[in-house]
Amino acid sequence: MRMNYIKKIPSIEEILERTPLPNHIKEIKQKRDIEITNIFESKDDRFILIIGPCSADNEDSVCEYIKRLAQVQEKVNDKILIIPRIYTNKPRTTGIGYKGMVHQPDPQKDPDLLEGIKAIRKLHIRSLTEFHMSAADEMLYPENYTYLTDVLGYIAIGARSVENQQHRLTVSGVDVPVGMKNPTSGDFSVMFNSILAAQSSHNFIFNGWEVETSGNPHSHAILRGAVDSYGRNIPNYHYEDLAYIAKEYEKLNLANPAIIVDTNHANSMKKYYEQPRITMEILLNMNYNPLLKKMIKGLMIESYIEEGNQGIDGCKYGKSITDACLGWEATERLVFDIAEKL
């Protein structure tokens, strides 16, 4: 047999019982949920920034980063709502390499998924408890979502997962806003179909149960650029792209049409330092076109304490071990620049 059973993972109920969310933190989470959904329902005109490291690789440095974000949030609260990125599951194009904290809570040690589950839950709870900020994570594995169901404020479905039936159906039963990225091919019809599927009700098997969902009215689009057949990056944040997508989106009559633009990945040609320039172009286009102003609800930005990235064996505190990120000084300046332009 080619599959070696290492250890049995405790049930979801057991995991949640071991690390429960205190009642007063539940109230903070509920308040945040209302704030975030109000923006997607156009009841609050603040701008969302989903911002943070490419991957949450170290609890202390991630929390130090979120502490800084929380301090900035106080200064821009009238215009911006910040959602920290705590991405604990990392997709790998070849399946090889660091797969995130859920696999390796310590990147220098062997994978340990049980300890990883404990670590990602602890990190998300710290963000809520210490900084009153529910965070964003990527639903790379639909079953892993259940370990964080009571703490997440936002979820993203990646470009390689957005066509997957299980992801779409699972999103239809999620209570928080979920962004569906355009696939790496750039085919917008795939993204729109995924939003339609996520907003619809479904019956399916999930974690050993037959379940029925009511649909997620806050599922929406994330534009992250595309990759052509030669492996070249193709941005989709320029004015013509945004105007076309917004008009097509409007025709579909989906609930709460909304767009989040990812300023990194294929949109930045994987040049992380281009994110501030891309941000300013998007804001300029929003202020020019009322439909874009209405539909673009925020941005996704990759940022950490130290700029750039390092190998998994790197020891620089607060520096990404996956995709390169903006450093803190550039990040802080960018957030204030966005608030000024809104």
Distance CA(25)–CA(29), nearest Å, equals 6
Q: DSSP readout, 99-155?
A: --TTT-SSTTS---HHHHHHHHHHHHHHHHHHH----EEE-SSGGGGGGGTTT-SEE
Domain-located, residue 4: no
Question: What mean pLDDT comes out for the span 196-204?
Answer: 98
Q: Among 49-58, 138-147, 218-227, name the one with the lowest average pLDDT.
A: 138-147
Tokens of 340: 């000024």
3 found inside a domain? no
* Whole-angstrom distance, CA of residue 116 vs CA of residue 102: 4
Mean pLDDT score of the chain: 96
- Does 94 have pLDDT greater than 90? no
Write down the pTM of the prediction: 0.97
DSSP 83: E
Residue 258's domain is classified under what CATH number? 3.20.20.70
Question: What is the average per-residue pLDDT within 142-146?
Answer: 91
* Residue 5 counted as domain residue: no
Residue 97: predicted pLDDT? 85
Whether residue 134 is predicted with pLDDT greater than 80 in this model: the reply is yes
Q: What is the pLDDT of residue 2?
A: 84
Give the pLDDT score at 315. 85
Cα separation of 118 and 10, whole Å? Answer: 11
Judge whether 151 lies within some domain: yes
Report yes or no on 142 lying in a domain: yes
In a domain, 1, yes or no: no
How far is Cα 322 from Cα 57, in angstroms, rounded to an integer? 9
Asked if the model's pLDDT at residue 113 lies above 70, the reply is yes
Domain that holds residue 202: 12-341
Confidence (pLDDT) at 291: 98
The H or E element spanning position 157 is strand 154-157
Give the pLDDT mean for 209-220: 97
* Per-residue confidence (pLDDT) for residue 95, from 0 to 100: 75
Q: How many domains does the chain have?
A: 1
Is residue 184 situated within a structural domain? yes
pLDDT digit string (tens) for 65-89?
Answer: 999 999 999 999 999 999 999 999 9
For residue 198, being part of any structural domain is answered with yes
pLDDT for 90 equals 85
Please tell me the predicted confidence (pLDDT) of residue 314: 86
- Please report, rounded to a whole number, the percentage of residues in the chain having pLDDT higher than 70: 100
Residue 93 confidence (pLDDT): 76
d(CA 147, CA 8): 15
Percent of the chain with pLDDT over 90: 92
pLDDT at 1: 60
Angle, in degrees to the nearest 10, between helices 113-131 and 59-76:
30
